[in-house]
Amino acid sequence: MNYSYSALSHNGGGGGFGGVDQHNRCCGNKAWCVKDICGIVCVVMTWLLILFAEFVVMRLILLPSNYTVFSTINMIIFQALAFLAFASHIRTMLSDPGAVPRGNATKEMIEQMGYREGQMFYKCPKCCSIKPERAHHCSVCQRCIRKMDHHCPWVNNCVGESNQKYFVLFTFYIASISVHTLFLVLTQFAECVKNDWRTCSPYSPPATIFLLLFLTFEGLMFGIFTIIMLATQLTAILNDQTGIEQLKKEEARWAKKSRLKSIQSVFGRFSLAWFSPFTEPSCRTRFNSHFYSV
């Protein structure tokens, strides 16, 4: 466990705490940005794979199609899913996952938080923060994250209290676009076999086969991975238990919410906004503002 067990005393002290914490921040401190080379490479790979699927689906399957209605409907569906997947990915990556302010374990801040002399609390020795309940330290983000589920290199960020909705939407839209892509690939294969590979593609038969096979492999891999991840995330949310808590088999020291309350804590009250990466949940409860980054 990444914490020490401390007690407040008049001898305890420390430096001051205030101002804006610029750690893991970019764009003039407006966005969260983890500077991890492995995560950045995974993010670029994710974008390139989405762009590859975009190229093959549009250039090889839909635009050359002689069936205008089929092509138009599937083009709208594919582009909508691709846009929402990309937006969800960006939102997950650039959103503060729920970082606890660094260095808030000073005597002054502890007293402001309402802790009494002799009262016990958890302190993270790595970022000198008082750890709220269910927070864990991430060695990549170098911060304690509230309700940390896991660190995902594909979004170059932790999945935590403040960005779990966007991560779930990312897995949902990638899974949806993968299934849709596999459907389009199957229809294209059938069309090419029917026409002996002569008029079904603007490219040569070997190039067409290679592109379709690679897209099939990508769709299967991404689809299986994201469907499993989506199911895991939804199960954890419904059980009011994070991935780390499940992995460590931690006993619930917190009052578990009902399944409805658990879902609402991540997505807000039910509306179409559940499916939008541009809206924030409306039901978040902040128990102590000192545990939230400025």
| Residue 10 belongs to a domain | no
Record the tokens describing residue 93, joined without a space: 């990556």
Q: DSSP string of 88-137?
A: HHHHHHHS---BPPTT--SHHHHHHTTPPTT-EEEEETTTTEEPPTT-EE
Query: Which amino acid, residue 72?
Result: T
**Do 282 and 187 belong together in one domain?**
yes
Query: Which amino acid, residue 123?
Result: K
Q: With CA atoms as reference, report the closest residue to 179 among 218, 219, 231.
A: 219
Whole-angstrom distance, CA of residue 165 vs CA of residue 160: 9
**Do 107 and 227 belong together in one domain?**
no
Backbone angles phi, psi at 137, to 5 degrees: -85, 130
**Do 76 and 110 belong together in one domain?**
no
| Residue 24 belongs to a domain | no
Of the given ranges (70-79, 98-107, 131-140, 165-174), which has the lowest mean pLDDT?
A: 98-107
| Residue 78 belongs to a domain | yes
Domain holding 121, by residue range, is 101-134
Q: Once rounded to an integer, what is the mean pLDDT over residues 103-117?
A: 67
Output the CA angle 124-161-16, nearest 5 degrees: 40
**Do 213 and 118 belong together in one domain?**
no
Neighbours of 104 (CB within 10 A): 25
Between 263 and 254, name the one with better pLDDT.
Answer: 263
- Residue range 182-217, pLDDT digits in tens: 999 999 999 998 888 878 888 998 999 999 999 999
Whole-angstrom distance, CA of residue 197 vs CA of residue 109: 71
Is pLDDT of 7 > 60?
A: no
Judged by DSSP in three states, 26 sits in strand
**Do 165 and 155 belong together in one domain?**
yes
21 pLDDT band, cuts 50/70/90, is low
Annotated active-site residue in 152, 158, 192, 200: 152
**Do 63 and 126 belong together in one domain?**
no
Q: Which H helix or E strand runs over 73?
A: helix 68-94
**Do 48 and 113 belong together in one domain?**
no
| Residue 8 belongs to a domain | no
Please tell me the total count of domains within the chain.
2
Pairing of β 120-124 and β 129-130: antiparallel
Whether 152 is a known active-site residue: answer: yes
β partners of residue 136: 145
- Residue range 56-85, pLDDT digits in tens: 999 999 999 989 999 999 999 999 999 999
Judged by DSSP in three states, 198 sits in coil
Q: Which H helix or E strand runs over 222?
A: helix 205-238
